Structure 1
Amino acid sequence: MFDPGPPAAVTYEQELDDRWTLRFTRDLRHPPERVWQALTDPSLLDQWAPFTALRDLGTPGDATLVMVDGETRVPLDATVRVAEPPALLVYEWGPDLLRWELAPIDGGTRLTLRHTTGGRDMLGKVTAGWHLCVRVLELLLDGTPHGVIRGGDAKRFGFDDLCAAYESRI
């Protein structure tokens, strides 16, 4: 049985251009180098992220991230802007900007995701989606993989409850 866990520490900020930034923080029991690998290696991303990557994201440059929902595949242009292993990964994904910060803490990593997106109305869904993905990442790193949760499948794993909980914080 999959346990998504309680809502994570999050904040939301409205940007000057009417975009919004989610700040999502989770402490993981694994060192930054190991978390970095999971954020950049296509074979590991495929086991936890909402997309597949057509190349390693550990170096700057253009990339393609393919959003997956069941049999539907939607390729989106991406550009890795900053890759400073194992501390900072910043990339554009379609119209969004994702900034992954990894800080060492007590033998583990404080993972902070800042996801800037187009509108306030999507923040609850974006947050719930990342919550599930990061929980799957955590299980993968723990050596007890659950299997990726993407798209419509998320509804079977607590997505709606998480979405409501996060929307109440906006």
Structure 2
Amino acid sequence: MATEDGTYVQVEGRPAVRFRRNLRHPAAKVWAAISEPSELKHWFPAAVTIEPQQGGTITFGDDPNVPDRKGEILVYEPPRRLAFTWGASELRFEIEPDGDQRCWLTLIDVLENTDTAARNAAGWHVCLAELDKAINGEPGGGPHADTAERWHPLYEAYVAGGMPSGAPIPGL
């Protein structure tokens, strides 16, 4: 699987972190993993309910590090694009088929503030590792489980690599 660590980018003049993965699964399977609450629970940092349409509501709960909240579905184009607000941030997912049994997944977190880049990149790094486990049928307990990749060393690596940092870290 080709992977890209989180990179700091600008999206429409706003700070963002971007991940790109080439996955050994068809686009429909990856779409289910990023859009269905029963699949999101395996890798996303919060429990999710979703009204699957543009303008619909998405709710987030049970994240031990942030309060429950609601967002808005900005883009809902199965099986290719999903975007929604999460607090003052915006999450964008894009799936591009790469043959019949592969696809590219791009995740962009458009950030509220520049100084959240390293913190959020480390978090999405952990979450995407759990997504890999889930879609490959491997055991995993989600990003908050003891079996998940450790967040803090990833955060330190992103900071050492020059990614903007300094935002408060929930839960610490």
Q: TM-score, normalised by structure 2?
A: 0.81
The alpha carbon displacement at 1:155 in A equals 10
The alpha carbon displacement at 1:73 in A equals 6.7
Aligned counterparts of 1:163 and 1:73: Cα–Cα separation in 2: 18
Which whole-Å deviations, capped at 9, do the CAs of 1:20-71 have from their partners, x for residues lacking one? 1111111111111111111111111111101111235x322122112511xx
Which whole-Å deviations, capped at 9, do the CAs of 1:50-109 have from their partners, x for residues lacking one? 1111235x322122112511xx77211110111111110011111111110101124212
- In the alignment, structure 1 segments of 5+ residues that lack a partner are 1-6
- C-alpha RMSD of matched pairs (Å): 2.5
2:46 paired residue among 51, 61, 85 = 51
Greater Cα offset, 157-166 or 79-88: 157-166
The alpha carbon displacement at 1:14 in A equals 4.1
2:149 paired residue among 132, 157, 168 = 157
- The alignment status of 1:63 with 2:62, answered yes or no, reads no
- Aligned to 1:68, the other structure's residue is in SS state coil
Aligned counterparts of 2:32 and 2:148: Cα–Cα separation in 1: 28
The equivalent residue for 2:167 is none
The equivalent residue for 2:72 is 79
Please give the residue correspondences for 1:34-49 in structure 2 after superposition, counting only pairs within 5 Å.
34-49=29-44
Amino acid at match of 1:13: V
**Alignment check: 8 A CA contact 1:66 1:75 kept:** yes
- Aligned to 2:63, the other structure's residue is in SS state strand
Q: 1:94 to 1:73 in 2, by over 3 A?
A: closer
Amino acid at match of 1:97: E
Q: Which has the higher contact order (CA 8 A, sep 6+)?
A: 1
**Alignment check: 8 A CA contact 2:41 2:48 kept:** yes
Aligned residues: 159
1:11 paired residue among 3, 7, 11 = 7
- The alignment status of 1:30 with 2:22, answered yes or no, reads no
The alpha carbon displacement at 1:141 in A equals 0.7
Aligned counterparts of 1:47 and 1:64: Cα–Cα separation in 2: 16
Aligned counterparts of 2:112 and 2:41: Cα–Cα separation in 1: 25
Aligned counterparts of 1:147 and 1:27: Cα–Cα separation in 2: 22
Q: 1:25 to 1:68 in 2, by over 3 A?
A: same
2:95 paired residue among 94, 97, 102 = 102
Which whole-Å deviations, capped at 9, do the CAs of 1:123-155 have from their partners, x for residues lacking one? 1111111111111111111111311123xx579
